[in-house]
Amino acid sequence: MTALAVLLGRHIGYSASPAMHNAAFEALEADARYELRDVEPEDLAAEVQALRGSDRIGANVTKPYKMAVCDLVDELGPEVERLGAANTIVRYGDRLVAHNTDLAALRDELPPGIRRAVVLGAGGASRAAFDALTAAGCQGIVVIDRARWANLAGALVTADLLVNATPIGTDSDETPVPASFLRRELAVLDLVYRPSPSRLVREARAAGARARGGAGMLLRQAALSFSIWADRNAPIEVMREALRRELGPGADV
């Protein structure tokens, strides 16, 4: 029986996760596959319940369900207890346990020496970014959601890092930040990974800033999720090459 892992989210046809995970399953000669599940809110509980099936490995979770799934599983990992957001579910027998691999992946993507940061967004990725920045010793973190977008220009004046934890720019040429707000001293980490590089990253680099897109974080969190499901190290270089093929040679992988 072929085992199944899925990605739960909404409007996620752009996702590069199947390319990485299916390449990893193939490399390990595992009888398993990874599929997308584009889920309406009213169907989320049933999709999580389906993860208890004997053919299921678990799931990744993306927007907008990282917080909602925490109420639908049997146990929360300690990092999920703290954040209130999960991106990975694993099945142990008939129990579902939620984890958050975004957090460790984000910590590895942050530039060193950040003192003041602005985080855009108020969802699960934003919570992980806030936690990772706090753990890295960042002394001032301003979180800006859509209700406070008018404060963005002022907040960026004293910041040395901007983290885009919104989906703005995904599979489009939009940017959440006008190019005039960017400057050499403001590093940028855009969690958007398709296109790679995003418009925000391109414009930040044009301003002379250190800027990185979300493909590296996507790879790291995917490898950590895979390791939890498989109970063995993920073939990360296989996953990296699959992601690069999926996103193109210029991707920040």
Catalytic residue positions, numbered: 66
Nearest to 219 by CA among 227, 208, 231, 209: 227
d(Cα 209, Cα 211) in Å, to the nearest integer? 6
Give the distance, in angstroms, between the CA of residue 235 and the centroid of all CA atoms in the same chain.
19
Give the distance, in angstroms, between the CA of residue 184 and the centroid of all CA atoms in the same chain.
26
CB 58 within 8 A of CB 91: yes
With a CB cutoff of 8 Å and minimum separation 6, the contacts of 244 are 251, 253
